[in-house]
Structure 1
Amino acid sequence: MRHDEKTEKFRQLVENKFQIYNSLFMSLPYDKMSNIGMLLPFLYEESRVGYEKGKNPEEIMEEFFAKHTELQTDDQKTELLFKIIQYIERQVVLFDSIEDAAFAELHSENDSGTVMQLQERATQEHLLEETREKMKNFAIKVVFTAHPTQFYPNSVQRILHDLRSAIMEDSVTEIDMLLQQLGKTPFVNKEKPTPLDEAMSIIFYLRYVYYDTIGELYKKIKNAFATDSFVPSQEMIQLGFWPGGDRDGNPFVTAEITQKVAAELHFSILKSYYEHLKNVRRRLSFRGVSEILEKLSHHLYDAIFKEDQSIHSDEILKYLNEAKKIIVEKNNGLFLHLLEDFEDRVKIFGTHFATLDIRQDSRVHQGIIDDILTKKSGLEIEKISEEEKLNWLLNTNLVLDPNDFEGITKDTLENINNIKNIQRRNGERGMSRYIISNSDHIKEVLNVFALFKLCGYQEEEINIDIVPLFETMEGLDAGENVMKELYNFPIYRRHVERRGNEQTIMLGFSDGTKDGGYLKANWEIYETKEQLTKVSEDYDIKVIFFDGRGGPPARGGGKTHDFYASQGKTIANNKIEITIQGQTITSVFGNKDQAKYNFEQLLTAGIENDVFKNSKKDLSQKERELIEELANISFKKYSDLKAHPMFVPYLQEMSTLEYYGKTNIGSRPSKRGAGNKIKFEDLRAIPFVGSWSQLKQNVPGFFGFGFALHDLKNEGRFDEVLALYKGSDFFKTLVLNSMMSMNKSYFPLTYYMKNNPKFGEFWSVLFEEYELSKAMMLELTGFKMLMEEEPLSRKSVKIREKIVLPLLSIQQYALMKIQKKEGKMEAYEKLVTRSLFGNINASRNSA
């Protein structure tokens, strides 16, 4: 489909439907809300015109109250604002559902990045054999995290799910009923969800979206590429899971919670098999076959509901093999494909569904180690070196009893003890790695290895990958030396050999971007990957990179296919592993059509990268030096901004930063460290990026980039940058992703801040860099507008921005009242918190 055809289709399937179904809201039975639908267009118009004229949000809101309502008291006004927020929140859900329902019609099976297009291209270029060869040892893994960027409670997510289906069928009655249900369903969690709640929320998607999606996608790959001598591996598409295992900064994730979540994952996949088997049995009613499948059905049922019963994937496959034999020998292979499809699912999901990862911060581990040494080693730990500590840990034969300790030490030891039980029930794939945040020294990895030994594991029983996570600028710089030392460390080297000479290394994009700015972080990670690839190859170790990328460019995200397809041959490409979080789960992997499409995009990016040669993927020495130069200039500019005395106060006083912790969307605290005074390093990446997004300034997604481009232009070297943009896919992807961040910015919302005596000068610094970056990138790309080549995304953003502009006005108005300490503070603070929800949900991927 051409751009103009797609745009017209979007208009018909999304814009027009939204107008029609939006009118249903007018008649919804809201309490005292009958005229909200009439008032909203007036508030939008007052906002749009007002901001362009430089009015501030308070003036805009007061004009709106005076012209369009007869409200007199502050209480009446805030009551109306809460009703408007509720109304807009539901409009956002409706628009999400309509856009998602149109997905399949706006994307074709032969779009670039799909399996069919990969097959077609491989056939045309006579590279089918090479493609199959790459498939033999390539996989993708999407890891669902609990990071709180999703503001929909479970009840609303389920309505979203049903609303999408009703819209696909154009069932007006059903849509009307669901909108009524939406009108009466609260959008706010009364209390913070527990890690178990977060896990259950994502398990819903595993059961009702990914079980079928991944099964069907695998079948599609098999049909396209299988031959008599080659069948694609069922482990080509994998799922990972963090809720209930990620204890980094989350005191609520305990050993008990981890066990419960592992059990839920196990029972959920058995329930999916049980349901699937019912459908298979309807067709496979042949003598001998039906009895075997009935036995399997009973075995699954008992394993789900009887405590003393269990089942392993090998046992399930044994039943299926017996049944297959009879179908082939006595029933001409009739309906064999149904059984093979079921068998493939069992090989894909095992008895674990998704791999539950453990993650903890290295500094917490160090505290635990010091606690153990103090109580058990007889050494004076204040007087001994780190080397002596490690030496004792790795050579002691002591086996610890968790009950000899308290708090986090006890819980950590219990959790490590439990891993054996989880692997016994869920299979080894059910829990196979331990990730260490803030790694920048070998002791971080060896401490974890030592903890396993202290829990009584023999070296050959440690069936776990120990994964360092390099995330800050210092961590990324240290990565190469840390891995070299580890590979040279005999105990650890033996461990890696037992793990098949494979080493997974995680890289944190979100914290990298927060720490170093957009361009510097992306380049630093690229170079770190190159170094880690080389050092691993030198030691004959297959390295797998696991990228902690957020949804938006400001957190290292952006266009996934383009990002991975642009990495050259200097970076290991054995597997693509990424984190998916919050509303990226619903917006990118939220229904079968979207999920299948986006899994395909990931898979083909990795395969194309090796199979199809393209000079634009590999950077020449000259291109590298130029990116390095640009990255350093932009880093200096971003570092100066971070060092500005108003940087943290601006976020604290002028943005929604302080309110993230009050939203009850995630189980973990929104900042590290205690106390009210916030330091830059205490800021978590999500509230940090989210607060810039709520201000419609998206600073981490572009700041410093435009300055760096302008710097080279002033030196008369812009033609070099132009050549880089045209010649390097990697650099081009960075530019386009940064433009996406800027396209979601709207500085008129905060024009009023330029006159603020405290923050006016700081605001101007941000605005000038935005204007400069926008101008420079348009000049570089030759576009007339941001995201010119992506009309659908641009249209989608435009409609969403229109829906939430009134919400932003309300939020800024409430923040201004709070700054002036006017009226009831509690009510205004509540308005700020409530307006966070709709803004984030509407922006999809902005936080």
Structure 2
Amino acid sequence: MYTPPKIERFNENVLSKYHIYNSVFITLPFDSIDNTGVLLPLFSEMCESGFKQQLNPRQIFEQFSDKFLDNKTEQDKINLMFRFIQYIERQIVLFDAIEDAAFPIVNNMEGRGSLRDINEKAEAKNKLDALRDFFRTFKVRTVLTAHPTQFYPGPVLGIITDLTIAVRENDLQRIKELLAQLGKTPFIKKEKPTPFDEAVSLVWYLENVFYYTAGDMVHYINKNIFKEEINDNSLLNFGFWPGGDRDGNPFVTTEITLRVASRLRIALFRCYYNEIRRLKRKLTFYDVDILVTEIELKLYDSIHSADDQIFLTLDELKQQLNVIKRIVEQKHQSLYLDDLDLFISNVGLFGFHFASLDVRQNSRIHHQVFEEIAKEGVYLANGYLSADAIQKAEIISNAKPGVNPNDYNEITRSTLESVYAMRTIQSLNGEMGCNRYIISNNETALDVLQALALFRLCGWDNPTVDIVPLFEVIDDLRNAKSVMESLYTDEAYQQHLARRGNKQTVMLGFSDGTKDGGYLMANWSIYKAKEEITEISREYGIKVIFFDGRGGPPARGGGKTHKFYASLGPNIENREIQITIQGQTISSNFGTLDSCRYNLENLLSAGVANQIFDKDENLLSGADKKILDELAEKGFEKYTDFKNHPKFIPYLEQVSTLKYFAKANIGSRPAKRSKSDRLEFSELRAIPFVGSWSQLKQNVPGFFGVGSALSYFETSGRWHEIQHLFDHSLFVKTLLENSMMSLAKSFFPLTAYMKEDPEFGPFWTIIYEEFLLTKRLLLKIAGHTALMENYPDGKASIEMREHIVMPLLTIQQYALLRVKELNAAAVPDENLIAVYEKIVTRSLFGNTNASRNSA
């Protein structure tokens, strides 16, 4: 049977359907909309033609007003802009739903990277035993974070889900109803969400997507790869940050941490309860029905307990299920055994925790906490405050237990309370409920030892907790090996690691690394840090596990993630793949049963490929590394000069939408870590930093410095070296292809008017020239005539989304220009300024939501 190419499937099942359903949408009779549906396509055409004629956003909108609006006042124009924004927001939702509906058609669910493909390839290469051995220890952990990179409120997410089903079933009447509902449903959250609100919204994905997908996958592996053999390894597990991530989020409290942990457990019990109810309809046999009912009732009581009481333990649940299984096998001809095995597999996978709640805090906070406690001279020996790092490590190794959080200031109290909360959560949800303490801004071994000492101070002598340093900025990545060696040779930490099975998790973050050192240096520094930490860990007999803070656009470590993991080679430990997923990455890559399975299977496949099928193929030679060192250094020099340009911070503050991220009710976290009015680059969070460049369609963090680095090899007659590396290294190929995605989502005609700006014109030109250089050389090295031409469906999706938001981007730039103009007036009209600032903020939502395929 003929299967059309992927791009044909995309065109037929996504683009064609979008045009059909969008034509339905823009003709729906909404209240007070007038003829917006007629005007929007006209405005969209005028935007496209206007930018080709090198008009600026203001000229485009004014020409449109002159041509299609009769003597309209400024207020009429403002009203129309808001109506355009409302329409475009909903067009993006429609496109999301159509893409989700077409996912299993456009993507080959049983093709390369699938579990079926892994199984068949292992059989064909006589490597089934090796595959089984690998799956006995390997794990994939996806960690859900609440970083605000998607702004749909709950009701809109529900409509997307229903609309996806209706589109898949071609139910035109239902689609019209849902589009009408969409038109009347608010997209804006009136209040900022709390960390608990964010947790609840992400628990929905665990309940409705991950629970079923992960359970089915592990059941498939046990049944088809292990067959009759037992595999006790939880191949898939999940992490959770909302409610536990205290780094820079002043709104995370101990109460919220405990509430989130409770919500996770109760959500899981609901899944178990629903599953046992389905089994009850099948397992109606003698000696079995009573046992099933007993589990059902205990789960029901545990869900509805007012005081967090649990009416059965995890061991009791597992034992009871195994008793039921034996009876079904021995007395009832194994009837419905497959369904029962699936439930048993899920209980083994999720325990009572559902997802492990990680606690994260900044090392600077720990230093403040220890200084506060040391002042008393009770729990830490005298001299701590004046001691050097080595002496402090010795002092805290002998810290005395018994601190009372209520005796200290707010920062110290909340930090100590988080330790007590972890112990409480473990008593209810099991050890996996909350067993990792992550240290942001980790610079030294002392930062890790302080975190360990916190547990000792709180009376938890042998904590069942992993201490996880997070290395992110370039200097910290370079020093990571020496930090880890210091820890491995510290007696107190050695004892802790021995109790934890000599396993050490190390987190490596992309966001602040890219912000600090640019795209090439961040990625290469992380690669080298992984190799160096692997080497030192193997030397000391420590099983190191890497946890990557990746997600979103390539500038934040996103892009073709599974290709990145498949490219790492044997000198980087491959025991687990751990990765953060967030915002639009969750909804686009893991938001439906199909996309979730596809992407989880690809992550598993990446680990298998790296270890079983292509183990030595991705090994970089010494010469390769020398070239990459040069490449990264040249990119770093260009980016550092750019970052140190006197107009860098003013450009972000005055030209971009940076300050509007703080105004929007998009997440519980502040846009920057400090409370000062002055913008300090080091305090700026990565999401508004990357997002601001994205709103300008100048995706600087994903490409700046790449062109200059490649140009160095071209002009020095060494192009063949970098070309050979691209052709033979999957790591380099993936790295540069991901940068191409950043270029493909850039659109400089939108801001070309800035080149004439007396203050920022030269700075804009620097960005544009680097863009042109990077584009030329990336096309040259790939042998392409257009960006992303080897991913035609991804290219087509990006182009369609960019087409949808073009009017939105134009409106945003128009509003920014009006704000600047109004502020320059002798007597600024504050009310009018506030209106245009609201237009900027509202358009920010749609522009970001449209970028869901950035991961």
Q: TM-score, normalised by structure 1?
A: 0.98
What's the counterpart of residue 852 of structure 2? Answer: 844
Q: Deviations over 1:689-722 (max 9, x none)?
A: 0011111110111111111111111111111111
Looking at structure 2, the residues matched to 232 and 68 of structure 1 have their Cα atoms a distance apart, in angstroms, of 68
- Structure 1 residues 327 and 614 mapped into 2: Cα distance closer, same or farther (>3 Å)? closer
The within-5 A match list for 1:679-758 is 679-758=680-759
- Structure 1 residues 437 and 463 mapped into 2: Cα distance closer, same or farther (>3 Å)? same
Q: Given that residues 558 and 854 in structure 2 are in contact (C-alpha distance below 8 angstroms), is that contact kept between their aligned partners in structure 1?
A: no
My pick for the range that moved more, 322-331 or 772-781, is: 322-331
2:138 counterpart of 1:135: no
Measured after TM superposition, the shift of residue 34 of structure 1 is: 3.4
The within-5 A match list for 1:153-172 is 153-172=153-172
Q: Which of the residues 431, 438, 442 maps onto 2:434?
A: 431
Measured after TM superposition, the shift of residue 818 of structure 1 is: 1.1
- Structure 1 residues 372 and 614 mapped into 2: Cα distance closer, same or farther (>3 Å)? closer
Q: Given that residues 310 and 425 in structure 1 are in contact (C-alpha distance below 8 angstroms), is that contact kept between their aligned partners in structure 2?
A: no
Local SS of the residue matching 1:545: strand
What's the counterpart of residue 96 of structure 1? Answer: 96
Local SS of the residue matching 2:144: strand
Q: How many residues matched?
A: 844
Q: Deviations over 1:171-206 (max 9, x none)?
A: 112111211221111111111100000000000111
What's the counterpart of residue 841 of structure 2? Answer: 833
Q: TM-score, normalised by structure 2?
A: 0.97
What's the counterpart of residue 288 of structure 1? Answer: 287
What's the counterpart of residue 408 of structure 1? Answer: 411
What code does the residue aligned with 2:395 have?
W
What code does the residue aligned with 1:829 have?
E
Q: Given that residues 245 and 356 in structure 1 are in contact (C-alpha distance below 8 angstroms), is that contact kept between their aligned partners in structure 2?
A: yes
Q: Given that residues 508 and 549 in structure 2 are in contact (C-alpha distance below 8 angstroms), is that contact kept between their aligned partners in structure 1?
A: yes
Looking at structure 1, the residues matched to 271 and 425 of structure 2 have their Cα atoms a distance apart, in angstroms, of 19
2:456 counterpart of 1:447: no
The within-5 A match list for 1:145-160 is 145-160=145-160
Q: Given that residues 609 and 615 in structure 2 are in contact (C-alpha distance below 8 angstroms), is that contact kept between their aligned partners in structure 1?
A: no
Local SS of the residue matching 1:108: coil
CA RMSD of aligned residues (A): 1.5
Structure 2 unaligned segments of length 5 or more: list them: 824-828
The within-5 A match list for 1:598-613 is 598-613=599-614
Local SS of the residue matching 1:551: coil
2:511 counterpart of 1:510: yes
What's the counterpart of residue 573 of structure 2? Answer: 572
The within-5 A match list for 1:280-319 is 280-306=279-305, 307=307, 308-319=309-320
What's the counterpart of residue 276 of structure 1? Answer: 275
What's the counterpart of residue 501 of structure 2? Answer: 500
What's the counterpart of residue 320 of structure 1? Answer: 321
What's the counterpart of residue 333 of structure 2? Answer: 332
Local SS of the residue matching 1:198: helix
What code does the residue aligned with 1:713 have?
E
What code does the residue aligned with 2:516 have?
D
Q: Given that residues 143 and 579 in structure 2 are in contact (C-alpha distance below 8 angstroms), is that contact kept between their aligned partners in structure 1?
A: yes
- Structure 1 residues 425 and 615 mapped into 2: Cα distance closer, same or farther (>3 Å)? closer
Measured after TM superposition, the shift of residue 614 of structure 1 is: 5.8
2:59 counterpart of 1:59: yes
Q: Given that residues 384 and 395 in structure 2 are in contact (C-alpha distance below 8 angstroms), is that contact kept between their aligned partners in structure 1?
A: no
Measured after TM superposition, the shift of residue 846 of structure 1 is: 4.5
Local SS of the residue matching 1:342: helix
What's the counterpart of residue 814 of structure 1? Answer: 815
My pick for the range that moved more, 696-705 or 301-310, is: 301-310
Looking at structure 1, the residues matched to 389 and 734 of structure 2 have their Cα atoms a distance apart, in angstroms, of 43
Measured after TM superposition, the shift of residue 381 of structure 1 is: 5.6
Measured after TM superposition, the shift of residue 409 of structure 1 is: 1.1
Looking at structure 2, the residues matched to 119 and 691 of structure 1 have their Cα atoms a distance apart, in angstroms, of 44
- Structure 1 residues 393 and 438 mapped into 2: Cα distance closer, same or farther (>3 Å)? same
Measured after TM superposition, the shift of residue 615 of structure 1 is: 5.2
Local SS of the residue matching 1:495: helix
Looking at structure 2, the residues matched to 606 and 141 of structure 1 have their Cα atoms a distance apart, in angstroms, of 12
- Structure 1 residues 688 and 340 mapped into 2: Cα distance closer, same or farther (>3 Å)? same
Looking at structure 2, the residues matched to 2 and 811 of structure 1 have their Cα atoms a distance apart, in angstroms, of 46
Looking at structure 1, the residues matched to 232 and 74 of structure 2 have their Cα atoms a distance apart, in angstroms, of 64
Local SS of the residue matching 1:617: coil
Measured after TM superposition, the shift of residue 380 of structure 1 is: 6.1
Q: Given that residues 113 and 561 in structure 1 are in contact (C-alpha distance below 8 angstroms), is that contact kept between their aligned partners in structure 2?
A: no
What's the counterpart of residue 212 of structure 1? Answer: 212
What code does the residue aligned with 1:825 have?
I
Measured after TM superposition, the shift of residue 379 of structure 1 is: 3.6
The within-5 A match list for 1:23-422 is 23-228=23-228, 230-306=229-305, 307=307, 308-377=309-378, 379=382, 382-422=385-425
Measured after TM superposition, the shift of residue 613 of structure 1 is: 2.9
Local SS of the residue matching 1:140: strand
- Structure 1 residues 610 and 381 mapped into 2: Cα distance closer, same or farther (>3 Å)? closer
Q: Given that residues 673 and 685 in structure 2 are in contact (C-alpha distance below 8 angstroms), is that contact kept between their aligned partners in structure 1?
A: yes
Measured after TM superposition, the shift of residue 782 of structure 1 is: 0.5
What's the counterpart of residue 826 of structure 2? Answer: none
- Structure 1 residues 441 and 2 mapped into 2: Cα distance closer, same or farther (>3 Å)? farther
Looking at structure 2, the residues matched to 396 and 675 of structure 1 have their Cα atoms a distance apart, in angstroms, of 35
Measured after TM superposition, the shift of residue 26 of structure 1 is: 2.5
What code does the residue aligned with 1:436 have?
I
Local SS of the residue matching 1:176: helix
Looking at structure 2, the residues matched to 71 and 624 of structure 1 have their Cα atoms a distance apart, in angstroms, of 65
What's the counterpart of residue 555 of structure 2? Answer: 554
Q: Given that residues 28 and 34 in structure 1 are in contact (C-alpha distance below 8 angstroms), is that contact kept between their aligned partners in structure 2?
A: no
- Structure 1 residues 692 and 4 mapped into 2: Cα distance closer, same or farther (>3 Å)? farther
Looking at structure 1, the residues matched to 532 and 156 of structure 2 have their Cα atoms a distance apart, in angstroms, of 45
Looking at structure 1, the residues matched to 250 and 477 of structure 2 have their Cα atoms a distance apart, in angstroms, of 27
Q: Deviations over 1:388-415 (max 9, x none)?
A: 4443332132411112123121122122
Q: Given that residues 570 and 615 in structure 2 are in contact (C-alpha distance below 8 angstroms), is that contact kept between their aligned partners in structure 1?
A: no
Looking at structure 2, the residues matched to 384 and 544 of structure 1 have their Cα atoms a distance apart, in angstroms, of 33
Q: Given that residues 312 and 425 in structure 1 are in contact (C-alpha distance below 8 angstroms), is that contact kept between their aligned partners in structure 2?
A: no
Structure 1 unaligned segments of length 5 or more: list them: none
What code does the residue aligned with 2:34 have?
S
Looking at structure 2, the residues matched to 600 and 846 of structure 1 have their Cα atoms a distance apart, in angstroms, of 19
Local SS of the residue matching 1:686: helix
Looking at structure 1, the residues matched to 780 and 2 of structure 2 have their Cα atoms a distance apart, in angstroms, of 25
Looking at structure 2, the residues matched to 34 and 162 of structure 1 have their Cα atoms a distance apart, in angstroms, of 27
2:769 counterpart of 1:768: yes
Looking at structure 2, the residues matched to 316 and 398 of structure 1 have their Cα atoms a distance apart, in angstroms, of 36
What code does the residue aligned with 1:435 have?
I
Looking at structure 2, the residues matched to 514 and 55 of structure 1 have their Cα atoms a distance apart, in angstroms, of 32
- Structure 1 residues 398 and 138 mapped into 2: Cα distance closer, same or farther (>3 Å)? closer
Q: Given that residues 374 and 385 in structure 2 are in contact (C-alpha distance below 8 angstroms), is that contact kept between their aligned partners in structure 1?
A: no
Looking at structure 2, the residues matched to 721 and 233 of structure 1 have their Cα atoms a distance apart, in angstroms, of 45
Local SS of the residue matching 1:283: coil
Measured after TM superposition, the shift of residue 11 of structure 1 is: 1.4
Q: Deviations over 1:478-524 (max 9, x none)?
A: 11111000010001100001001100000011111111111111000
- Structure 1 residues 64 and 536 mapped into 2: Cα distance closer, same or farther (>3 Å)? same
- Structure 1 residues 448 and 614 mapped into 2: Cα distance closer, same or farther (>3 Å)? closer
Measured after TM superposition, the shift of residue 606 of structure 1 is: 0.5
The within-5 A match list for 1:452-471 is 452-458=455-461, 460=462, 462-471=463-472
Measured after TM superposition, the shift of residue 418 of structure 1 is: 2.0
Q: Deviations over 1:68-103 (max 9, x none)?
A: 112522111111101100000000000000001000
Q: Given that residues 690 and 846 in structure 1 are in contact (C-alpha distance below 8 angstroms), is that contact kept between their aligned partners in structure 2?
A: no
Q: Given that residues 567 and 617 in structure 1 are in contact (C-alpha distance below 8 angstroms), is that contact kept between their aligned partners in structure 2?
A: yes
Local SS of the residue matching 1:674: coil
What's the counterpart of residue 674 of structure 1? Answer: 675
Q: Given that residues 707 and 773 in structure 2 are in contact (C-alpha distance below 8 angstroms), is that contact kept between their aligned partners in structure 1?
A: yes
